[in-house]
């Protein structure tokens, strides 16, 4: 089997059947799998805990305030009791022996077991390698029981399962390859404009701000290359990136020329960027053709619209909010 799905623990129906996902959450999962084009019978289903937490179905019933097992907290200030770790080791062995191309981690508990991280809202939708089982590709997604309580997350979970189907075709994590030029000189800006931006069919741009100041602005002519133009640098005297006022003036001239060109522009939440550039710097962006946030809203008006969410749905990038984590760093290159 190329797809494994790992849940949390048995509920009432699962305990009676001694099988995972046979109750209401199992019904919801089956329907979402069908919408994603996945046949449930072709998946391997299991739980982190093949037992029902007592006296209620709350997973915190398996925890105490005492740290054990070398794992982080399963819930805030709550650590799994030593007696339940054999269940964790069992599910890890199951996946290790099965070796699916993709393991879908349904909910925070499954993420805790395989990624040692419970931040499901930050992790969902992004493929990554398991911490507990190196080289095992995982995809966090919301648990069906959570979807039943938060129905607006159902389309999101279906999108994640669609990604799981794509990822089931191969076992490795495939990240996009691109070159990002950082900490440029004025000569670098001119070189990049002549070799990339001048011939681009479209130019994507994005600004980062602090108060009324633009700290950095990036340009990308395609999905293979981009350049970052910094203006703020906390490491340097006065926090100015450019060594002289004349250098900074030339950098702003470069930014103005790119944004004033006839090349179609692409932005994310462009209404904010356009207004900020005009209000704070008097820069008018010409021919702004597309806004990825608005385009996504037209397709999925009920879902989130932030760049991190769009990245999790439409790309194979690392999680936006965890991209600098020690477990997975993204390589950024610059031209020497």
pLDDT by residue (tens digit) across 278-322?
999 999 999 999 999 999 999 888 888 888 889 888 888 887 665
Burial of 4 per CB tally in 10 Å (0-12, 13-18, 19+): buried
* Token reading at 40: 């449930």
* Token reading at 201: 């069919």
Burial 248-266 (b: 16+ CB within 10 A, else e): eeebbebbbebbebebebb
Cut 0.85: pTM above it:
no
* Token reading at 150: 């938060």
In angstroms, rounded to a whole number, what is the distance separating the alpha carbons of residues 47 and 233? 47
In angstroms, rounded to a whole number, what is the distance separating the alpha carbons of residues 45 and 166? 18
Residue 335 CB neighbours (<10 A): 12
pLDDT value, residue 303: 83
pLDDT value, residue 323: 60
* Token reading at 76: 């805030």
pLDDT by residue (tens digit) across 220-279?
999 999 999 999 999 998 999 999 999 999 999 999 999 999 999 999 999 999 999 999
pLDDT by residue (tens digit) across 167-215?
999 999 998 888 999 999 999 999 999 999 999 999 999 999 999 899 9
In angstroms, rounded to a whole number, what is the distance separating the alpha carbons of residues 236 and 217? 18
* Token reading at 305: 């619209």
Q: Is 70 exceeded by the pLDDT of residue 335? A: no
* Token reading at 289: 């053709």
Q: Sketch out the chain's domains with CATH numbers.
A: 3-167 (3.40.470.10), 179-322 (3.30.420.10)
Q: Which helix (H) or strand (E) holds 275?
A: helix 270-281
């Amino acid at each position: 089997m190329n797809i494994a799905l790992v849940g949390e623990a048995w509920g009432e129906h699962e305990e009676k059947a001694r099988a995972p996902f046979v109750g209401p959450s199992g019904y919801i999962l089956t329907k979402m799998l069908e919408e994603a084009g996945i046949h449930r019978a072709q998946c391997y289903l299991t739980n982190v805990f093949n037992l029902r937490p007592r006296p209620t179905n709350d997973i915190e019933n398996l925890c105490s305030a005492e740290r054990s097992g070398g794992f982080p907290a399963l819930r805030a200030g709550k650590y799994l009791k030593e007696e339940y770790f054999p269940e964790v080791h069992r599910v890890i062995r199951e996946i290790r022996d099965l070796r699916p191309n993709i393991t879908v981690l349904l909910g925070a508990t499954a993420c805790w077991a395989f990624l040692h991280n419970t931040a499901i809202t930050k992790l969902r939708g992004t493929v990554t390698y398991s911490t507990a089982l190196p080289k095992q590709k995982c995809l966090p997604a919301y648990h069906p029981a959570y979807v039943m309580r938060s129905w607006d997350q159902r389309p999101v979970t279906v999108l994640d399962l669609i990604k799981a189907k794509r990822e089931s075709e191969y076992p490795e994590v495939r990240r996009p390859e691109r070159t990002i030029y950082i900490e440029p000189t004025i000569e670098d800006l001119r070189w990049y404009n002549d070799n990339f931006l001048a011939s681009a069919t479209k130019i994507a741009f994005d600004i980062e701000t602090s108060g009324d100041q633009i700290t950095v602005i990036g340009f990308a002519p395609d999905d293979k290359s981009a350049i970052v133009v910094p203006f703020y640098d906390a490491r340097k005297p006065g926090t100015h990136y450019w060594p002289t006022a004349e250098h900074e003036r030339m950098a702003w001239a470069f930014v103005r020329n790119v944004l004033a060109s006839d090349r179609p522009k692409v932005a994310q939440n462009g209404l904010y960027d356009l207004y900020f550039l005009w209000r704070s710097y008097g820069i008018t962006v010409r021919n702004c053709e597309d806004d990825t946030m608005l385009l996504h809203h037209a397709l999925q008006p009920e879902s989130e619209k932030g760049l991190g969410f769009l990245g999790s749905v439409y790309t194979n990038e690392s999680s936006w909010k965890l991209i600098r984590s020690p477990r997975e760093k993204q390589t950024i290159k610059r031209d020497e």
